[in-house]
Amino acid sequence: MDMFRNFDLSSISVMGWIIFGLTVVNFIGFWLCFFFEWFWNDEPVYRRHSKMGMKRMLVYDSPIYMYVLTFFLAVLASIILSFLMVGVFEGVLWVICWVLKILAFIIIVVAWIAIVGGVLSLFAAQIWGILVAIVGGLLLAGGRWLRDAMTDAVEWCQDLLSDVWDMSVGVAMFGYENWQGILLIIAAPVVLVLAIAAVIIIADGVCWAIEGVVTAMYKVHRKCPYCGEEKAFDYIVDGKPHPVKLRPNMYGIFYHTNPDGKKLPTMLLNGRGKLTRQCCKCHNLITNDGPMTYGTDIHIGIVGAPAAGKSYMIYTALDELQNKYQLPLSQVDKDDDTDIEQKVRLIHAGGDIQTATAERYHAVQLMFKPSGRPVPYHLYFYDVAGEAFNQNMSEDARKKALQFYDNVMSIAFVVDPHRFDIKAAGTRFSHEFMQWMESNGGDESDRYNPNELFGRLREFIIQSGRKLKSIDFNFVLAKTDLGYLDALDTSAVAEGENPLRKVVDRDLGLSTTLITAENDFRSVNFYAVSALNGSDTVPRMIVDILKRQGVKEMSELTKF
């Protein structure tokens, strides 16, 4: 700040203060013109940019920079104009003085003419000549006074102009010697605006980085529970989509104000997840009616033939994990097809809970928030209708029903052995299983070939572009309460061998499918479950499958 200590205001003359006053007046005049242009013009130069009613923040908009540029130019123009005004005034005054000086000379000449004419008139005996001579004498006296006065005025103007020039040089020298301080004063608004802009832009980037790091660290994706789309969403407010991307950007860092004046959070970390969003791919609305709005994505697909018990299995298991085992699970984005509480009431009432629509799916979503973990788990369970694997379905319908392959991390392949087609070509069952089927098998018309079902499943996954090695595969032997395991020898052939693997390989005619699964998928696991009341096999299976996906806290809380 030493530069300001060199300012010697006492050295400024009266004319200097006059020029300073003119500078202030000119500056005020410039800004009055600016405001008149702003308020009276339908298309002002400084109009803020907008997009469908959304106004940008000032630092991202051109008017603020035009404001400070206008201020900077107005200061310079005011200083220059003040000097010009003084110079013009002095120049005009100098010209007037010269005109009056010439006029005085003319008056003197006229006065002499009048005096001479009056005297000659007297010699001609014209009495009025006396009056003419008197008027000429008066004009002569006044003309001489006027001539002398204008001569002094011209000299005064010349001296004053010389003083103004000297003062201008002095002001210029003053500016040269103190240019840093003067420039700092003039440019202060520009520097201030640029500093604020830099802070806001950096804050914008920091918010992006923080949310990006958190979501990447905890694998948060919030994919569409209908089609698996991850990024193409519109946020819906009062039935209308927010017109711009809802994230920290030029329309706001922490919040956007939509065209209707409502403030919308821009990040998951400050509440964006509570807003209703619409998938731009499948156009379904997605809501989150729970306190937790985002978490680590875990996608589990439940696949099997029609009436294999998949829906009964998944809804009873999730209900027990919530209520019997008191896990911190809360369901979000539920509808009539996915509401666990509603489905369990139907089960208890003996109603049909089979997946309603074969040509679509809506994931059953739960948020699991173990204590000590800053981000919950967002669990997606896809209850895929068995009809999706029917040969008579159109490709478009099958594609819609099986879009969960884009995200699925683990597949539970549910098989119902009592409905196996024991006459299917290429299948080999054990003698014990054949004997049990003769006494307990279902209706002949309702049977299916699990090998064909697995083949179509594998084909669909490959067609979707997913790598099989990125997916865990689980053989789930359902309805064990029917007693088929009791009729089989489930003892392990070799030490450490899974007895259920032996059943799948030797007894159920799935040896080829088993070998293919073990070669193709990341891992293959085996479960035998019953969804009857009192059995905890299905909840145990769900917990174990999730544990293999990294959700270890669930098994610790249930003691499974």
DSSP 154-183: HHHHHHHHHHHHHHHHHHHHHHHHTHHHHH
Q: Considering only CA atoms, which of 415, 411, 427, 416 is closest in space to residue 524?
A: 411
Q: Is the pLDDT of residue 9 over 50?
A: no
User: Where is 439: in which H helix or E strand?
Assistant: helix 431-440
Determine the average pLDDT of the residues in 254-283.
90
For strand 410-415 and strand 296-304, is the pairing parallel, antiparallel, or unpaired?
parallel
Confidence of residue 205 (pLDDT cuts 50, 70, 90): confident
pLDDT of residue 497: 78
pLDDT of residue 454: 92
In SS3 terms, 98-143 reads as HHHHHHHHHHHHHHHHHHHHHHHHHHCCCCCHHHHHHHHHHHHHHH
Range picked from 74-83, 134-143, 396-405, 518-527 for highest mean pLDDT: 518-527
Q: What is the amino acid identity at position 544? A: D
pLDDT of residue 129: 61
Euclidean distance between CA atoms 110 and 114, whole angstroms: 6
Contact 245, 197 (CB under 8 A): no
Q: What is the amino acid identity at position 485? A: L
Range picked from 86-100, 184-198, 372-386 for highest mean pLDDT: 372-386
pLDDT of residue 515: 94
pLDDT tens string 440-462: 866 677 788 899 889 988 988 88
Region of 369 (left: φ > 0; alpha: ψ -120 to 50; beta: rest) is beta
Euclidean distance between CA atoms 201 and 199, whole angstroms: 6
For strand 255-257 and strand 263-265, is the pairing parallel, antiparallel, or unpaired?
antiparallel
pLDDT of residue 305: 85
Euclidean distance between CA atoms 63 and 46, whole angstroms: 5
pLDDT of residue 306: 82
Q: Is the pLDDT of residue 476 over 70?
A: yes
Determine the average pLDDT of the residues in 23-42.
69
**Residues in Cβ contact with 342 at an 8 Å cutoff, skipping those fewer than 6 apart:** 336
The DSSP 8-state label assigned to residue 504 in this structure reads I
Question: Domain coordinates of the chain in residue numbers?
Answer: 2-177, 288-558
Euclidean distance between CA atoms 172 and 170, whole angstroms: 5
Contact 360, 226 (CB under 8 A): yes
Write down the pTM of the prediction: 0.72
For the beta carbon of residue 124, count every other beta carbon within 10 angstroms.
8
Average pLDDT, the chain: 79
pLDDT of residue 2: 44
Over pLDDT 90: what percentage of the chain?
23
Task: Report which of residues 541 and 99 the model is more confident about.
Answer: 541
Q: Measuring CA to CA, how many Å separate 395 from each of 218, 302, 390, 402, 449?
A: 35, 20, 11, 10, 21
Q: Is the pLDDT of residue 64 over 90?
A: no
Determine the average pLDDT of the residues in 148-171.
67
**246 exposed, middle or buried (CB, 10 Å; 0-12, 13-18, 19+)?**
buried
Contact 295, 378 (CB under 8 A): yes
Fold that domain 288-558 belongs to in CATH: Rossmann fold (3.40.50)
Q: Is the pLDDT of residue 4 over 50?
A: no
pLDDT tens string 349-368: 777 666 555 455 678 999 99
Task: Report which of residues 472 and 169 the model is more confident about.
Answer: 472
pLDDT tens string 390-422: 656 566 655 665 566 778 899 999 999 988 888
Q: Is the pLDDT of residue 133 over 80?
A: no
For the beta carbon of residue 326, count every other beta carbon within 10 angstroms.
10
Contact 492, 499 (CB under 8 A): yes
Over pLDDT 70: what percentage of the chain?
72
Token pair recorded at residue 408: 């699925």
Contact 330, 291 (CB under 8 A): yes
Confidence of residue 86 (pLDDT cuts 50, 70, 90): confident
Contact 264, 242 (CB under 8 A): yes
Q: Which of 137-141, 448-452, 500-504 has the lowest mean pLDDT?
A: 137-141
Contact 526, 501 (CB under 8 A): yes
SS3 41: coil
